[in-house]
Amino acid sequence: MIPGATLGVEEVLAELTRLRSGDAPTHGGRTLAYVYDSGLAELDELAARAHAAAVSANGLDPTAFPSLLRMENDLVAAAIGLLGGGPDAVGTATSGGTESCLLAVLAAREGRRDVADPSVVVPSTVHAAFRKAGHLFGVRVVDVPVDPVTFRADPVATAAAVDDTTVLVVGSAPSYAHGVVDPIAELAAVAGDRGARMHVDACIGGWVLPYLRRGDADGRPPVFDLSVPGVTSLSVDLHKYAYCAKGVSVLLHAGPEQRRGHYFASADWPGYTMLNPTLQSTRSGGPIAAAWAVVRHVGDDGYAQLALSARAATERIRDGLAAIDGLRVLGDPDATLLAVALDGEPGFDLFTVADELAARGWHVQPQFPHRSSPANLHLTVTASNRGHEDALLTAVQEAVGAARAAGPVTIDADLAALIGALDPDTLTEQQFAGVLAAAGLDPATGDGAEPGHPLRLPERMAEINTMLAAASPRLRERLLAEFLGLLYRP
Ligand SMILES: *Cc1c(COP(=O)(O)O)cnc(C)c1O
């Protein structure tokens, strides 16, 4: 409803500030997922001013707004320079990593219109964006188990999974869940041998790994970019480690021929001929201009510094976490992401550790068990964590101590029985309401955090996370989608 009486500018902004005060902090390195903090004081204002200067411009027509064309070409050129593109390389600015991954799959499918039942072969650790692409574009997703200990893709098993329907093979640099880089050269060779394309999902690592490679005489992590023979596309999110305002990723292709398939044109209506390089049509100039300004301001030397800081913080935090009794780090993380799991059965619960960290103002992301990957806590480490590693490690020590004292999570027997009996494919609204009530989240009786808000999340999530961890992925999808549908009620 549009309110009848208008609010003054200052009043509206005060209201916004009040709303935002309930959010996870986006600066200071205490939120170790979702947000990326360079620690550079001036970046926010620069991005905000550049965003404001272009937000009214529309990327729908680059001839009407040539500034956006220029800035996008500059961003793509920067990405090509950093990520090994040859003279033919081209790219597209998208709204984010998921859109870049979607378009990579779409372009590969369109490049092989002769394949009636196209498929994409991915490691089981691949980002869920590729499942979304399969779902949206009718492409089968064939996933190949990764090495159970290193969590890296297995080129031999991948070769066995590739067949005549394969239009694309994907590898991650690094994977989100474990932060390890897949053997890209081997995967690309497998793809090339079978005439399939190869996409490198460097959404999260693409603006960090090249700088780490430069600084490391051993060339670790190994080369993963467009210079690897057989790699045909690569995605890199500027709104992650390029520390740009949210809403920008770049999808690179080895040449215009590979890119063509994600362009869309329609002249079959009485309006303007619709010409879209991405899924969007009207495209705000704001995120492009903000990214362009930030990339120009920080520059190559600045990014090298930021990448080395984030990596140094990651190594320090990795070592500190591994030294805490009862914890271990999964795999051998190559970049700036960590996954920390329980070491054996140490007598405390990991999800309680997450709750205890939240109570101390630190936010980590629970990851549920998946095949050989046990339940763990994800940490996205950024440059702002450098120099403050001990504060985090101390908080984790305290949280583990509190979790030990609290003992194992006890699951409500009624709730467990209820969830155990659910079939994800026939879940009814009543059944879901029953689950919510048993979990103490009943919208009818719960008092919301905001007037009219249907739900308030409990302060402690350990019990709910334990239940969700025990559910099958399919049931978890269904339960959480229902939950989301309840949150988004006006
Ligand atoms: C973040 C991420 C994505 C998806 O990016 P969004 O910007 O969240 O849409 C895809 N792949 C990897 C490896 C990522 O880390």
In this prediction, residues 339-349 reach a mean pLDDT of 96
At residue 280, φ and ψ (nearest 5 deg) are -80, 160
Q: How far is the CA of 332 from the centre of ligand 1 (A)?
A: 20
pLDDT reported for residue 117: 98
Q: What is the mean pLDDT of residues 54-62?
A: 98
**At residue 446, does pLDDT exceed 60?**
no
**Whether the model pTM is above 0.75:** yes
Residues 6+ apart with CB under 8 A from 265: 273, 274, 275, 276
Pairing between strand 166-172 and 119-123? parallel
**pLDDT value of position 429:** 87
Q: How far apart are CA 381 and CA 126, in angstroms?
A: 20
Residue 48 has pLDDT above 60, yes or no: yes
Cα 312 to chain centroid distance, Å, stands at 22
Distance of alpha carbon 250 from its chain centroid, rounded? Answer: 14
Least confident of 71-75, 177-181, 182-186, 472-476: 472-476
Q: What is the mean pLDDT of residues 18-32?
A: 96
Sheet harboring 376-380: ordered strands across? Answer: 327-329, 337-342, 376-380, 365-367
- CB atoms < 10 A from the CB of 260, how many? 13
Q: Contact at 8 Å (CB) between 311 and 212?
A: yes
Domain ranges for the chain:
48-294, 413-487
* pLDDT tens profile 175-197: 999 999 999 999 999 999 999 99
Q: Which of 126-140, 346-360, 454-468 has the lowest mean pLDDT?
A: 454-468
Residue 48 to residue 54: CA distance in whole angstroms: 10
pLDDT at 161: 98
Nearest to residue 294, comparing CAs of 479, 490, 78?
78
Neighbours of 163 (CB within 10 A): 11
**Pocket of ligand 1, beta carbon within 6 A:** 96-98, 101, 127, 129, 172, 176, 201, 203-204, 237, 249
Which helix (DSSP H) or strand (DSSP E) does residue 208 occupy?
none
Beta strands in 63-157 (DSSP E): 90-94, 119-123, 140-144
Distance 203 CA to ligand 1 centre (A): 5
Q: Which atom of ligand 1 is nearest to the CA of 96?
A: 7
For residue 311, give both structure tokens: 């990596």
Confidence category of residue 361, pLDDT binned at 50, 70, 90 = very high
Distance 127 CA to ligand 1 centre (A): 7
Top CATH class, 48-294: alpha beta
Counting ligand 1 atoms within 8 A of each CB, the residue from 125, 204, 239, 251 with the most, and so the one to mutate, is 204
pLDDT of residue 440: 80
DSSP codes joined into one string, 101-146:
HHHHHHHHHHHTTT-SS-EEEEETTS-THHHHHHHHHT-EEEEEPP
Residue of 99, 103, 127, 239 best suited for mutating to test ligand 1, as the one with most atoms within 8 Å of CB: 127
- At residue 371's C-alpha, the angle toward residues 366 and 373, to 5°, is 45
Q: Report how far ligand 1's centroid is from the alpha carbon of 487 (Å).
A: 23
**CA of 102 relative to ligand 1 center, distance in Å:** 11
Two tokens, residue 290: 């903000």
Question: With bands split at pLDDT 50, 70 and 90, how would you rate the model's confidence at 452?
Answer: very low
Residue 459, pLDDT score: 81
Q: Which residues pair with 172 in a beta bridge?
A: 201
Ligand 1 atom closest to Cα of residue 174: 13
Q: Atom 4 of ligand 1 has which residue's CA nearest to it?
A: 97
* Rounded mean pLDDT, 246-250: 98
Q: Would you place residue 447 in the very low, low, confident or very high pLDDT band (cuts 50, 70, 90)?
A: low
∠ CA 191-192-193, nearest 5°, is 95
Distance 246 CA to ligand 1 centre (A): 12
Contacts for 444 with CB less than 8 Å, ≥ 6 apart: none
List phi, psi (to 5°) of 80: -60, -45
pLDDT for the residue numbered 37: 98
For the segment 305-327, the average pLDDT, to the nearest whole number, is 98
d(CA 459, CA 249): 34
**What pLDDT sits at residue 91?**
98
Please give the single-letter amino acid code of residue 401.
Answer: G
Per cent of the chain over pLDDT 90 is: 87
Annotate 177-194 with DSSP letters as a single string.
TT-----HHHHHHHHHHT
* Nearest atom of ligand 1 to the alpha carbon of 202: 13
Residue 411 has pLDDT above 90, yes or no: no
- Strands in 249-253's sheet, in edge-to-edge order, are 90-94, 249-253, 233-237, 197-201, 166-172, 119-123, 140-144
Question: Helix, strand, coil % (nearest 5) of the chain?
Answer: 40, 15, 45
Tens of pLDDT, residue by residue over 98-156, are: 999 999 999 999 999 999 999 999 999 999 999 999 999 999 999 999 999 999 999 99
Average pLDDT score, the chain: 95
Is the pLDDT at 445 greater than 60? The verdict is no
Measuring from atom 12 of ligand 1, which residue has the nearest CA? 203
Q: 3-state DSSP call for residue 31?
A: strand
Q: Tell me what pLDDT residue 217 has.
A: 67
Tell whether the model's pLDDT for residue 393 goes beyond 80: yes
Q: What is the mean pLDDT of residues 248-270?
A: 98
User: Cα–Cα distance between 243 and 319 in angstroms, integer?
Assistant: 25
The predicted structure's pLDDT at residue 451: 47
Q: What is the pLDDT of residue 2?
A: 79
Ligand 1 atom nearest to CA at 98: 9
